[in-house]
Structure 1
Amino acid sequence: MRARQRAARLVAEWGLPDLADDVALVVSELASNAVLHGALRGRLFRVQLTLTEAVLRIAVSDPKGERLPRTRQPGPDDKFGRGLLIVDALVARWGVRERTIGKDVWAEFDVARGARPRG
């Protein structure tokens, strides 16, 4: 997935190469959810990364606001349902922001000196 590769490269360019793999995985999970659960014909999803002194934020926007993500406990034979559990294990926090049309699913890594992401 192109978004995953670009996110990893950007994070490394920003001087955070140790976070590149985790960021790529979170982007992949959130973007996959946008495609599977938030897609509408003719509408795209958007991935945005933002870096401040304290936080690296990933936001994935899609046009389907009526389907809000939530974690669940999949059974051992379930093929799906683990993505948000992976995101939750890697990031400091994540959530959903409803928009006029659609939603943003966001996840944040703490990057301030001395702060470390969970996981």
Structure 2
Amino acid sequence: MQHLAQHTFSATPQTVRAARDFTMQTLDSWGGCLRRDDIRTCVSELAGNAVQHGSPESRDYLLRLIRHPHCLHIEVHDGGGHSPVRIPPASLSAEAGRGMRIVQELCDDWGVQALTGTGKAVWTCFHRPEAHTSRCSCTP
């Protein structure tokens, strides 16, 4: 059985918290999840990136949650270009640039998909340990 929830947010810093709250409320309505903290952190980072890097001023971003039987797939669609999402080399003196490295460490898989027209979707996948198996294709 698959569940789908999505919400469009304005590309302002205040909506990052709303995206996290929407995600946690959705997971609760679906019966909870054992990886809440990891998911919350990743949604914060992806939504923050959509606001800061992906969506031009006064544009929106879409948060989509898809629960498959064996994994949770999260997508953040923004109106930014099709530019690749890069993880910069680690630096102790850098003031920014660690977010996608954190996402990479917390989720089971992630990637970027160009959208038809303008924009991209950055996605993450979390295998569901409470499911009978952790086998899941994470590619959208």
- What TM-score, normalized to structure 1? 0.88
Q: CA deviation at 1:110?
A: 1.0
Q: State which of 89, 92, 103 in structure 2 corresponds to 1:87.
A: 103
In structure 2, the gaps of 5 or more residues are 1-16, 136-140
- What TM-score, normalized to structure 2? 0.76
Residues 100-115 of structure 1 aligned to structure 2 (within 5 Å): 100-111=117-128, 112-115=131-134
**Which has the larger helix fraction?**
1
Distance 2:111 2:23 in 1: 19
Q: CA deviation at 1:115?
A: 2.3
- Matched position secondary structure for 2:132: coil
Distance 1:61 1:9 in 2: 20
Q: CA deviation at 1:54?
A: 1.4
Matching residue's letter, 2:101: L
Residues 8-27 of structure 1 aligned to structure 2 (within 5 Å): 8-27=24-43
Matching residue's letter, 1:20: R
In structure 1, the gaps of 5 or more residues are none
Tell me, yes or no, if the aligned pair for 1:8 and 1:21 is still in contact at 8 Å: no
Q: Could you say if the C-alpha distance between residues 12 and 21 of structure 1 is closer, same or farther in structure 2, counting changes exceeding 3 Å?
A: farther
Q: How high is the sequence identity, in percent, across the aligned residues?
A: 34
**Moved beyond 6 Å, runs of 4+:** none
**Cα-Cα RMSD:** 1.6
Q: CA deviation at 1:39?
A: 1.7
Partner of 1:66: 82
Distance 1:59 1:66 in 2: 15
Q: CA deviation at 1:5?
A: 1.5
